[in-house]
Amino acid sequence: MELLTTNNVWMMVCTGLVFFMHLGFAFLEIGLTRQKNTINILFKNVFIITVGLLLYCLVGFNLMYPGEFNGFLGFAGFGLESPLTAEGALDLAYNEGYTYWTDFLFQGMFAATAATIVSGAVAERIKIGPFMIFTILYVGLVYPIAGSWKWGGGFLDSLETPFYDFAGSTLVHSVGGWAALVAIYLLGARIGKFKDGKPQAIPGHNIPLATAGVLILWLGWFGFNGGSVLSADPALTSLTLVTTCLAAAAGGVVSFITSTLMYKNYDLTMFLNGILGGLVGITAGADQMSPTDAILIGAIAGVIIVLGVALVDKMKLDDPVGAVAVHLICGIWGTLAVGIFGSLASGAQFMSQLIGVASYAAICIVTSFLILFILKVTIGIRVSEREELEGLDPHEHGMSAYSDFRLNEH
């Protein structure tokens, strides 16, 4: 009972830390975008976590963990189906190391993150209504079905060499990243982002807030990765937190060095995204890596961030917060790194990681494209030119984030 209590308390602490990450995402997104769209971004983030939890309770949890199923799609029924007696819940807790309720809440915090990643990428030009519809379908159905392929005991977990994703470089971050890529392709760039084919900087209105957001996210990753141990095992939990921190630090340092060498200035936003890239990169194998492995994975992620942001710009895609480079490209890198570094490294493991990356690319690209394309041709997904120029806050929400403060923005 004492061990059960310790494990359960640790999992609940981690659940709180992952919840706290939503504040980090909100701060990062509003900091890197313009003042006139602040309410819109905050509204989307609050909508995602509230509706995400309800959807995960009603359908998501039992889609993601359906029990015995065909490996591709299963459903254990609507709502939470746990034993309601104290004795029954305790039996389940002994089997899992923590209670059913803690399991649901911890996993539910992950579910909303996929749509939050999309929110930042489509900032400043997407209609709020279509975005909410997309969130409901993607978080309610696509994320848990895709998650069941590995974490629910599906076909990727049944490969001869099972696909491995410890805390979600692919299952969470790339799932959001693929949808973000599709969304920004269908939406088009913000007015003024490209001039004569060349990308133009559209500065965010509050870089200190963005910095606070990244540091909050780093703190939240202690729960994101630390909780994915699924116990309070002292050795494994401690190692996971060490590798997580080292990868983040290496990602940030190498990203700012790479950016400085390429662009001849000390870009704080690249530094911040490098930290996030390192965190995303280590997430797939944080429990399998040595400290040296973690530093190498984070360092490579730091280079990938700078090149990834440049690639997105070269493709004339507009990603205000760098979500595609951070969550998609570094998510893929981190997933493949499991087959290169650490205790699982082997040719067979690398091939399984490739299969996993391709499988998630397929389901995420197809489903997000179908949802967003249907919304685009029916009700439209982009605000009018006037609304975009004047800001989404007054037009879609009838309020300003800073009622006594105005900036001259174009």
In a domain, 410, yes or no: no
pLDDT at 196: 86
> What is the CATH classification number for the domain harbouring 343?
1.10.3430.10
In a domain, 161, yes or no: yes
In a domain, 336, yes or no: yes
In a domain, 177, yes or no: yes
Full residue range of the structural domain in which residue 349 is found = 2-397
pLDDT at 79: 86
176 Cβ contact partners less than 8 Å away, ≥ 6 residues apart: 113, 114, 115, 116, 117, 118, 323, 327, 328
In a domain, 385, yes or no: yes
pLDDT at 90: 53
In a domain, 65, yes or no: yes
β-strand pairing of 194-195 with 198-199: antiparallel
Q: Tens of pLDDT along 169-194? A: 999 999 999 999 999 999 999 999 99
pLDDT at 404: 67
pLDDT at 83: 52
pLDDT at 354: 98
pLDDT at 80: 83
CA angle (281 as vertex; 276, 283 as ends), nearest 5:
95
In a domain, 110, yes or no: yes
In a domain, 409, yes or no: no
Give me the number of domains the chain comprises.
Answer: 1
Low-confidence ranges of the chain (pLDDT < 50): 410
pLDDT at 267: 94
